[in-house]
Amino acid sequence: MNSVRKIMPLCSKQVFTGKRFNSNSNDLTKEENKILYEKLLDKSYSSEKQTEASSFAKWVTPHYKFGPSRIMNYDWSIKNIYSWYKSKRVEFHKYNQRYVPERVKSLGSDIAVAHFIVYRGGAIRFRGQDNFIRWTNKKEEYFVNLPQMYDPNYFVEAIDASSLMFYYQGIENFKNLFKLKWLNLSNNPVLDNWCLDYIGHAIPTLEYLDISNCHQITAAGIAGLQKLTHLKILVINSNNIEIQMACFALEDIIPGLFVLIQDNNDVKLETKKENLNANEV
């Protein structure tokens, strides 16, 4: 056998000189079987280890052979982190202001929107009452003189949501308020044309609307208010000629409407606006 091994040529696929890979293990000595087993075991282990390392590298880095780590591909600057935080905060506010059907089913539309507004720092007034209900001491637990269950005798007549940041999701809570006549949404930095369009068809009984200092509103949003056929007073401030022309056109469409276009530097109009209160409607 040894003489035959010396005569047979060497092959790249041979593990031992003179023997092929698929040779019967009985032809090998005990020492050769041990070497063959160690080689096969080492090859299998190396293959599994390489596969695991490759999978981990692909998970950590998008281009693990050429590029840096995935975590280093993000922009970790203060500006980008603040932008991410701001977007998440907007998502939270939109979710927090969403219309909750379960709340309306248990309290009714009027009492539900009353709690919604007062809890967030606004004020409401029921029909037949003279004073607004407001949560004054926010350091204490939320407790105001509002009904805690459905009462068909309560109707919201006026809402003061000035200086509150209500998104479209928050404006959706104003639907089915059939006695609402007075609404103040001034100083809202996120109030846009979509909100005005929703108000136009959701609150047809509205008589007073204040949307001053809402800089997201354009002439298209003013045109959406033409559905408010009972509107008597509209307060807005803008130096934009398109918005002013839209207000003039709105006065022609809605009979009896008075649009108070407040200039940013006009003190007289500011005084006149302050004299307009909820009791005049």
Q: 């204040």: which residue's tokens?
A: 210
C-beta of residue 146 within 8 angstroms of C-beta of residue 118: yes
The answer to whether position 114 is within a domain reads: yes
Q: Are 135 and 179 part of one and the same domain?
A: yes
The widest CA-to-CA distance across the chain, in whole angstroms, is 121
The answer to whether position 194 is within a domain reads: yes
Burial of 204 from C-beta contacts in 10 A (0-12 / 13-18 / 19+): middle
Can you give the CATH number for the domain in which 135 is found?
3.80.10.10
pTM of the model: 0.67
Q: Are 70 and 113 part of one and the same domain?
A: no
Q: Are 212 and 164 part of one and the same domain?
A: yes
pLDDT for 269 equals 44
Q: Are 183 and 220 part of one and the same domain?
A: yes
Structural domain tally of the chain? 2
Q: Which residues pair with 237 in a beta bridge?
A: 262
The answer to whether position 113 is within a domain reads: yes
SS (H, E, C) 47-72: HHHHHHHHHHHHHHCCCCCCCCCHHH
pLDDT for 75 equals 74
Q: Are 136 and 258 part of one and the same domain?
A: yes
Average pLDDT across each block of 10 residues of the chain; the chain has 281 residues. List them in order. 47 46 59 69 55 56 51 75 90 92 93 93 93 81 81 95 94 94 96 94 94 94 93 93 93 94 58 47 48
The answer to whether position 193 is within a domain reads: yes
The answer to whether position 123 is within a domain reads: yes
Q: Are 137 and 34 part of one and the same domain?
A: no
Q: Are 151 and 50 part of one and the same domain?
A: no
Q: Are 168 and 210 part of one and the same domain?
A: yes
Of 37, 56, 74, the domain-final residue: 74
pLDDT for 30 equals 76
Q: Are 222 and 177 part of one and the same domain?
A: yes
The answer to whether position 263 is within a domain reads: yes
* Domain housing 45: 28-74
Q: Are 142 and 260 part of one and the same domain?
A: yes
User: Does an H or E element contain 237, and which?
Assistant: strand 233-237
